Amino acid sequence: MSRGVLSSPPVRRVTASDVAQAAGVSQSTVSRSFSDDPRISPTTRAHVHAVATRMGYTPNALARSLITNRSGMVAVIATQQSILAMPQMLTAISQALGRRDQRMLLFMPSDESDVQNAVNEAWSFPLEGAISCVTLTTSHLDGFRQNRIPVVLYNRRASGLADSACTCHHAAAADVAQRLWHSGHRRFLCLAGPEDAPVGRERALGFAGQVRSLGGAAPQMVETDFSYDGGHRAVTHALQSGPRPDAVFCVNDQLAMGACDALRYGLNLSVPRDVSVVGFDDIPEAARPAYQLTTLRQDLTSLAQRATALLEARRADPEGQIQELDLQAVLVQRQTARF
Amino acid sequence: MSRGVLSSPPVRRVTASDVAQAAGVSQSTVSRSFSDDPRISPTTRAHVHAVATRMGYTPNALARSLITNRSGMVAVIATQQSILAMPQMLTAISQALGRRDQRMLLFMPSDESDVQNAVNEAWSFPLEGAISCVTLTTSHLDGFRQNRIPVVLYNRRASGLADSACTCHHAAAADVAQRLWHSGHRRFLCLAGPEDAPVGRERALGFAGQVRSLGGAAPQMVETDFSYDGGHRAVTHALQSGPRPDAVFCVNDQLAMGACDALRYGLNLSVPRDVSVVGFDDIPEAARPAYQLTTLRQDLTSLAQRATALLEARRADPEGQIQELDLQAVLVQRQTARF
DNA sequence: CTGAAAGCGCTTACAG
DNA sequence: CTGAAAGCGCTTACAG
């Protein structure tokens, strides 16, 4: 805490030139002292650092980036909804970026239709890359390419048009369908999420496809949102107006928890004796004693590490082959499904 | 989508000079066309924009910021834990920033002890401000001041050393204590959160202080984490090893939900007949049918709007009086407390 | 209405 | 080992 600075505050930030003048060296020397250039003598470096500390100087990372072309910033694009539903996504990405000394510039479109504004704004920053947790159109991807910003999709696909790291939603859901089938379930209800949500759709289609290919009757598909309440409502309505299913597959855990509560407390059924319920994601709440949800776990941390690695690789080789990484989801067997 | 650009990609980003050359105008004219300078003729502007679009040019916001001193970036500092517990905080801040055309650069220290690294990194960016959701020490605040970065604390106080927008944790908790007292509760258990978490502490102290000032026996204070499981464990242990309280005050809703489940399903007690439970925050889950939690709602959206407004005010008047804004929490009466 | 030039805060050849 | 100078991609007086 330097009284001097506090009592007579300069109007602008302290710059390398200010430090140079105060230290009696050139601005180049100040710069080199801070980039740990080995040619600067230890004495000079120490002196410069001492003066800099006294003056409260920190190099401006973005003035630096003009020349080095490394800003240390990566855009992350995720809808508000998805962040509220799965904040683990953000913490995982932040940690993965941190290991590479990168920082997250967060763009939060209100929904998938608001993505255009977000990407337009993102393009104006000198980014080292962008991680998109929302689906991008060809024109979005093209804009990133024109602006020389590598993009990787997080838990989405772009059909060969961009790098991506993605859980095998389709395969995992199909696997669950198969297991349920083999343990005797025949009447399936699927809470499919919103129609325009690609991840939920993948999961629902993987499930339904497998059931049909096993010769079963097509599952009853119900469009929902992604919330606990949505799951509660959908199950309540479906069972009041139709035959009782013996298994409910939910494209996420919130829906599944709502489904369990509706079945147990609303409809007085036993889970899993009367009805099996399976979720997707394995959010922390799924493990609570009150639910003990059987669900598919996706590894958000690995996904994040892969995504940042893909960004790095793309920077190194802008013209290289596009990579689409698959991560398997693993079935976490708890108490809500008879297998 | 321009085939030309796609097939022969330039190595670097397109710059204003590139566009100027292609459009046959000066670089100043390109710059002026993009800053909507009224002196540029509509014809020229249109031509420049057309060429720019064809080339995929977007002005570099941070090169611009070197001169304008407005980067459009605000640092947000929040621990991983707090984001997982309350992602609404982030979405609220992001929206408030968006209205002011500002973007969030997110710093996520793993815990409150890792804050120093986060602030060091933050200082190197040309920020328009910083919103801290973690407690900052005098030396952190001093660093921000030296780097000319306005800081505002979000839901924290800095005892007159920095601007802040904060829920009246102490007063709200005291108010609940008083209401519980007046409706006949006398034996209080308080789940207080971790010792080093200032917000939880404020709430716990507000509660306990009021009980004592009403002449009651000091509440039993139990240190916990902030999780559902923590609440479950703490209540189970407290009631197995001591007298039964008639009211449990929890410094957040996760704890309160854990407490409810422990009381109801673990200890076979009725909430609120045998024991009243009150939480804090009013997270979305608190309203679920399974809980119907009585709790104190803090308005994270207003808090965020106040915080960004304070930042703006501080930019306008760096030497002005420090402002500490209070936001009241309101009691949401649901089904877990007898009042 | 437009251009040439200075300058924002840095890095980095180029000289010495 | 250090400095003077050019340049990163912009904005903005200053001229015309």
Of A120-134, B24-38, B300-314, B324-338, the poorest mean pLDDT is in B24-38
pLDDT at B1 over 70: no
Contact predicate B189/B245, CB 8 Å: yes
Contact predicate A190/A207, CB 8 Å: yes
Pick from A56, A66, A126: which is nearest to B146 by CB?
A: A56
For B65-101, write each residue's pLDDT tens digit. 999 999 999 999 999 999 999 999 999 999 999 999 9
Instruction: Match domain A169-298 to its CATH number in 2.60.40.10, 3.40.50.720, 1.10.3470.10, 3.40.50.2300.
Output: 3.40.50.2300
pLDDT for position B112: 75
What's the rounded mean pLDDT across residues B45-51? 93
**Smallest CA–C1' separation from B23, nucleotide:** C2
CA B189 → C1' C11, Å? Answer: 61
pLDDT for position B24: 92
Distance in angstroms (rounded) separating the CA atoms of residues A28 and A17: 9
Nearest to B204 by CA among B221, B225, B226: B221
Tell me which H or E stretch contains A104.
strand A103-107
pLDDT tens for chain A, 339 residues long, are 333 333 334 467 899 999 999 999 999 999 999 988 888 888 999 999 999 999 999 999 999 999 999 999 999 999 999 999 999 999 999 999 999 999 999 999 988 779 999 999 999 999 999 999 999 999 999 999 999 999 999 999 988 999 999 999 999 999 999 999 999 999 999 999 999 888 999 999 999 999 999 999 999 999 999 999 999 999 999 999 999 999 999 999 999 999 999 999 899 999 999 999 999 999 999 998 889 999 999 999 999 999 999 999 999 899 899 999 999 999 999 999 998
Check if residue B10 sits with its Cβ under 7 angstroms from strand D. Answer: no
pLDDT for position B196: 87
At residue B111 the predicted structure's pLDDT band, cuts being 50, 70 and 90, is confident
**Distance from chain centroid for Cα A161:** 19
CA B256 → C1' D4, Å? Answer: 67
Contacts of B55 in chain A (CB under 8 A): 146
- The alpha carbon of residue A201 is apart from the nearest alpha carbon of chain B, in Å, by 25
Structure tokens given for B122:
């933050």
CA A319 → C1' D11, Å? Answer: 34
Contacts of B229 in chain A (CB under 8 A): 288
Domain B169-299 falls under CATH 3.10.400.10 = no
Positive/negative CA dihedral, A135, B106, B300, B319? negative
pLDDT at B55 over 70: yes
Pairing mode of beta strands B324-327, B163-167:
parallel
What percentage of chain B reaches a pLDDT higher than 70? 97
pLDDT for position B293: 97
Which positions in strand C are less than 7 Å from the protein's CB atoms? 1-5, 7-13
Looking at chain A, which residues constitute the CATH 3.40.50.2300 domain(s)?
72-167+300-327, 169-298
At residue B36 the predicted structure's pLDDT band, cuts being 50, 70 and 90, is confident
**Smallest CA–C1' separation from A19, nucleotide:** C9
pLDDT for position A196: 87
Which residue from B minimizes the CA distance to A67? B63
pLDDT for position A37: 85
Residue pointed to by tokens 């904040």: A87
Distance in angstroms (rounded) separating the CA atoms of residues B259 and B261: 6
pLDDT for position B2: 34
Looking at chain A, which residues constitute the CATH 1.10.260.40 domain(s)?
3-59
> Which one of B19, B58, B86, B257 would you mutate to disrupt binding with A, by most A Cβ within 10 Å of its Cβ?
B58
pLDDT for position B11: 64
At residue B107 the predicted structure's pLDDT band, cuts being 50, 70 and 90, is very high
Structure tokens given for A263:
């079945």
DSSP string, B222-288: E---SSHHHHHHHHHHHHHHSPPPSEEEESSHHHHHHHHHIIIIIS---TTTT-EEEEEE--GGGGS
Pick from B55, B83, B124: which is nearest to A91 by CB?
A: B83
CA B313 → C1' C4, Å? Answer: 38
pLDDT at B284 over 80: yes
- The alpha carbon of residue A48 is apart from the nearest alpha carbon of chain B, in Å, by 17
For B117-159, write each residue's pLDDT tens digit. 999 999 999 999 999 999 999 999 999 999 999 999 999 998 8
Chain A window 4-23: residues with CB closer than 7 Å to nucleic chain C are 12-13, 15-17
What's the rounded mean pLDDT across residues B23-33? 93
CA B13 → C1' C16, Å? Answer: 36
What's the rounded mean pLDDT across residues B193-207? 94
Chain B window 57-96: residues with CB closer than 7 Å to nucleic chain D are 57-60, 63-64, 66-68
Domain B72-167+300-327 falls under CATH 3.40.50.970 = no
Distance in angstroms (rounded) separating the CA atoms of residues B106 and A264: 41
Question: Which ranges constitute the DSSP H helices of chain A?
Answer: 3-7, 16-23, 27-34, 42-55, 61-68, 80-85, 88-99, 115-123, 138-146, 169-182, 198-213, 228-241, 253-261, 300-316
Instruction: Match domain A3-59 to its CATH number in 3.30.465.10, 3.40.228.10, 1.10.260.40, 1.10.10.10.
Output: 1.10.260.40
pLDDT for position A11: 64
Looking at chain B, which residues constitute the CATH 3.40.50.2300 domain(s)?
72-167+300-327, 169-299
Positive/negative CA dihedral, A137, A138, A142, A148? positive
- The alpha carbon of residue A326 is apart from the nearest alpha carbon of chain B, in Å, by 26
* pLDDT mean across residues, chain B: 93
- The alpha carbon of residue B215 is apart from the nearest alpha carbon of chain A, in Å, by 38
Task: Return the CA Rg of chain A.
Answer: 26
pLDDT for position A1: 34
